[in-house]
Structure formats: C-alpha cells, structure tokens
Amino acid sequence: MPQIELIHVSKTYRDHVSVRALSEVSLTLEKADFAASVGPSGSGKTTLLNLVGAIDTPDSGIIRIAGLEITATPASRLAEFRLRHIGFVFQSFNLFPVLSVIENLAFVPALQGMPKAERVARAERLLAEVGMGALRDKRPDELSGGQQQRVAVLRAILPEPDLVLADEPTANLDSENAALLLDMMGRLNRERGVTFLFSTHDPAVMSRARRLIRLRDGRIISDEVREP
C-alpha cells in the first residue's frame, strides 16, 4: 500500500484574485521514501505539503495517507489521524519556549495518552541515539538554531508517525547545521523506516533526497527517483 497517494488533486486560493496553487497533481510515495518537492516560490510545493498533512483541503481530487482517504474524512477524525500518523517540521522550529527539551519532546505523546514514564524514557533514548542527551533539561532559548531544529525533528519523530512533512527545514540554518540536521533525518529514515517529504529550494536537501519532485505553476514537471 502506498504511503501517500494523490489523484488529480487541484487547489485554488481565492482572495482579491484567484491563484491556482496545484493543478491536477497525481503522485504516489512509498513507505520509507526520502523525497523532496522543489521549485520556485509559488510553484505549489508548500501547498502540496499542507494538503498531504490534512492542514488544508483540495478543491478536487483524492488524497490517501496510509490507506485513509483524508479527502473523505470528517475534520474531527482528521485531527486524531494527524496526531497519531503525521509529524510536522517547520522552518520556524515552533518549540514551546517555557518547556525543556525533554518536555517539548514528550508533548505530543502526552496528548496521545502515553504514560509519562514511557514518553520520558522514549525521549531520553532518542536524545541519546543522536548524541544530544546533555541538552535534556535546557530550554529553547539556551540552544543554538541548529540544536532547536534537531529537537523539532526529534519531537516529530518521537510519537513514531508513518510520515514526517518538513517545510523548508534548513532555511534558517548555516551549512554545517543543515548538514547535521540532514544526517539525522537520513539516519531516522534508514533505521526507523519513516517516510519523509520535504518542501525545499535548498540544494543541500535536494542532494540528499532519493526522489526529486519538481513543480512549476502548480504542476509536476518531473519526478526523478535516484539510487540510494
């Protein structure tokens, strides 16, 4: 079963003028893909992520994630589906400033009802795996930008989602921290089988992706699968 399936998906934003963000897009991603949607500003790559993440809804077409047709699923059920199946990473980090690293990591599992001892133990194991155990009790303002973004990725991974969506995750990082972040995400993809879909214009992300989905004016113009 495909991890992500889009069939003739279109989306138009209407404000003072109508903007066709996606037009008749069809796409399939398999489990453990490490894919990037790329293109210039306005090409539709962020809209694609928002639709796959059930943050926005298309005007037409079908979207299935892990077998669930999210385009035919009530909003109340979608919230629960996102919580348990999709992790999000944004360029702005979005960590809770009053919480420590360990508390930030344990936040989503707490919403899922995971017992405190289990979610803390899982967070500590994950931090240790990536060599960040010493940051356990620090708050976001005590971390560098690269450290904050790596914590944001770990927070997305900790609930063990099927899919992680990352919107321009390296945009606020220098090249060294971007490489560290991509190393970590690549390892999580290989060792845990998590599917990653990026929206990016960063050549560093493009060079690591095993699949490049190029968009222009809301349409897929090429879909390149690379050797691992």
List, for residues 109-154, the tens digit of each pLDDT value: 888 888 999 999 999 988 988 888 999 999 999 999 889 988 988 8
In sequence order, what E strands does 30-177 have? 34-38, 60-65, 68-69, 86-90, 163-167
Determine the Cα–Cα distance for residues 10 and 20; give it in Å rounded to an integer. Answer: 8
- Measured distance between the N- and C-terminal CA atoms of the chain, rounded to whole angstroms: 21
State residue 228's pLDDT score: 62
- Quick one: pLDDT at residue 160? 82
State the DSSP H helix or E strand holding residue 79, giving kind and residue range, or none if neither. Answer: helix 75-85
pLDDT at residue 130, rounded to an integer: 82
The bridge status of strand 60-65 relative to strand 68-69 is antiparallel
State the residue range of the domain holding 114: 4-225
Going by the DSSP 8-state scheme, the letter that residue 54 receives in this structure is: T
Q: What is the CATH number of the domain that holds 19?
A: 3.40.50.300
Number of domains in the chain: 1
Q: pTM for this one? A: 0.88
Residue 189 tokens read as 């993809």
Residue 156 has a pLDDT of 87
| Alpha-carbon distance values, 22 to 19, 84, 93 (Å) | 9, 27, 26
Low-confidence ranges of the chain (pLDDT < 50): none
Extract the runs of DSSP E, i.e. beta strands, from the chain. Answer: 4-14, 18-29, 34-38, 60-65, 68-69, 86-90, 163-167, 195-200, 211-216, 219-225
